[in-house]
Structure 1
C-alpha cells in the first residue's frame, strides 16, 4: 500500500511511499482510509521524526477487516477513528476502543476533522467543571480546538472571551457563540473563572493575571514554542488562591471511541460544526503541511484518498 512517510527534511516534510499493509492486533480493525486530517502539532513532530514513526491520528473510512477478538464494528461499517499513528495511508489499523460508527449523513471529510481537535475540546470542557454563566478566557482560539471548544462551551452556557488576532477568524468565533473576541490577552476584560492557555511564552503569565480569586488556569499547549517563565512573587501577589493545571487530552476516564461517538452525534444533530478550512487530495499533503505550519489554514485541513 501507499502511505505518507516522514522525509526528515523541512520541504517536503513527507513523501508518498510504498509500505507494508498493517497487520491488525486482535483488538484492532483494519480501516480503508477515505479522509484524514492534519494538525499543526504534527508539523513539529515531522521536524525530528522518531525512527519507525508514521504520522496520522485523525481518520475516517471503511472497516475492511473486523477485530479478531469480536470487539468493535463489523466489516463494511463507516467509521471515524483516532489511531496512535500511521493514519496518512491507504489502510490503518485502529484499536476498536478508538473507533466510532459514522452515520451516512456525516461525510468522511467532515468526520476526519473531529478526532484530535474535537476530543481535546470536549475533554477540556469536562475538566473545567464550569457551571453555566462562568466566565472563560481562551487564548489561541483561532485553531481547530478553539472553534470546537467555543461552540461546545457556549452551548453549555459558558461566557467565552476568545483571543484571536484575525478579524475574520474572530467573526467566526462570534458566530459559534463566543461572547466577545479580543485581539490580545491585554484587551480581555477580566477577571475570569477559567483561563485556557495554549500559546505559552509571555502569554501564560499575562493570562494568569486575568484570573479571578480561586480561578483556574488550564495549560494545554505551547503553540508559540517559547518557554513560559512565571515569577513566584508575581504569582502569589496575583489572583488569590489561583490554581494552574496541566491538561493532556489523552488523560481521560472515557475512551476515544466513546467521546468520538458523542462528537459524531452532535454533528449529525447539527449541533456541532467542524471548521474545515481546506479539503484536497492527499497527494498534496506536503504543501498543506507547509500552509498549516505558517497558519495559512483556518480550522482543520482535510486530505481525501480517492
Structure 2
C-alpha cells in the first residue's frame, strides 16, 4: 500500500512511499483511507521523535474494506471516520471498531477527517465541565482545530462563550461567527469569572485561566502548545473569597469509552452543516511537507486536510 512514512531527509519529515498492508486484529476493521487531517501535536511532537519508516496519523476517514472478524463495528462498504494512535497516514488502516464512527452518505470525507482528535477532544472536555446551559465558558487557544470545535459546541450547549486568542483583531470575526460572544487576547482580559475553562495552551495561560474560575468552576487542561511549566503563585489555590470548590482535571482521549457514538454524532453534525470543520489548508498527500511546515510555523488556524487520491 501507499503511505506517508517518516523520513528525516524529506521536506516536513515525510515522504510518500510504500509499506506492507496492515494485518487487522479480530476487533479491528480494515479501512481504505480517503482523507486525513493533521494535528499540531502529532507534527510537533510525535513526528519529530518518530523513526524513519514509521507510519503515523491519528485521524482518518474512508470506507470499510473488510469488517472486523469478531462481528463488531460497521459492515464492509460503510463510510467511516476513525481514530487511533498511529496508522492514519496510509492507504489502508486497521482500526479498533470502538474508535470508528459511521459517516452519512454524501458527506465530504475531507471535512469529516477533521473530527477525531479535534472534535472528540472538544466534546469530551465540555462533558467534564458538566451542564453549561446558562454558564460562562472560556476557551483558550480558540483559533486551533480543537478550539474552534469547542467554541461551537459550547455555544450549542447554551453557554456564554469567551474565546481567547493571541490576535483578536485578526480572528475575532471568525470566532464570533462560530458562536463566541466575546473574544479576548488572554485569560487576564476576561472581565467576569467563568464557570468552566477548556484550556488548549497550558503554561502561564492555564494558570491565569484558573484564576478566572468562579466558585464551583472547573478547568479542563487539554493542550500544551505553550511548552511552558505551569507555576502557580502562592495563594492561587486558596479556597476563600469566592474560590471555593474549584477544580482542574485532565483526560486521555484514547482511554475514553463510547467514542464510536461521539464520532458518529460529530460526523452527522459536520455533514449537516451544524458544525464547521474550518479547513484552512487542503491538498494531496504528496503535499504533506507543505502542510507540516505551515503547522509548525503557526501559519494555519484551523485544520489541515490531506486527500489520498
> Considering the TM-score relative to the shorter chain, is it more than 0.5?
yes
Query: SS of the residue aligned with 1:260?
Result: helix
Give the superposed CA RMSD. Answer: 1.9
Q: Which residue of 2 aligns with 1:104?
A: 105
For the pair 1:287 / 2:295, whether they are aligned, the reply is no
Q: Deviations over 1:260-302 (max 9, x none)?
A: 0110122233321211111100111122011011111121100
How many corresponding residue pairs? 305
Q: Which residue of 2 aligns with 1:262?
A: 265
Q: TM-score, normalised by structure 2?
A: 0.93
Q: How does 1:1-306 map to 2 (within 5 A)?
A: 1-8=1-8, 11-43=11-43, 44-49=45-50, 53-166=54-167, 167-236=169-238, 239-254=243-258, 256-306=259-309
Q: Deviations over 1:138-193 (max 9, x none)?
A: 11111011111111110110011110123333211101111110112221112111
Measured in 2, the distance between the counterparts of 1:50 and 1:124 equals 31
Measured in 1, the distance between the counterparts of 2:95 and 2:257 equals 19
Aligned CA distance change for structure 1 residues 163 and 9 (closer, same or farther; 3 Å): farther
Q: TM-score, normalised by structure 1?
A: 0.93
- Does structure 2 conserve the Cα–Cα contact (< 8 Å) formed by 1:276 and 1:301? yes
Aligned CA distance change for structure 1 residues 96 and 300 (closer, same or farther; 3 Å): same
Query: SS of the residue aligned with 2:81?
Result: strand
Aligned CA distance change for structure 1 residues 131 and 203 (closer, same or farther; 3 Å): closer
Measured in 1, the distance between the counterparts of 2:61 and 2:256 equals 22
Measured in 2, the distance between the counterparts of 1:208 and 1:97 equals 34
Higher mean C-alpha displacement, 43-52 vs 262-271: 43-52
- Does structure 2 conserve the Cα–Cα contact (< 8 Å) formed by 1:8 and 1:46? no
Q: Deviations over 1:6-37 (max 9, x none)?
A: 22469531122221110111111111111000
- Unaligned ranges ≥5, structure 2: none
Query: SS of the residue aligned with 2:235?
Result: helix
- Give 1:50 shift: 5.8
- Unaligned ranges ≥5, structure 1: none
- Does structure 2 conserve the Cα–Cα contact (< 8 Å) formed by 1:137 and 1:195? yes
Query: SS of the residue aligned with 2:203?
Result: coil
- Does structure 1 conserve the Cα–Cα contact (< 8 Å) formed by 2:6 and 2:53? no
Query: SS of the residue aligned with 2:4?
Result: strand
- Does structure 2 conserve the Cα–Cα contact (< 8 Å) formed by 1:3 and 1:16? yes
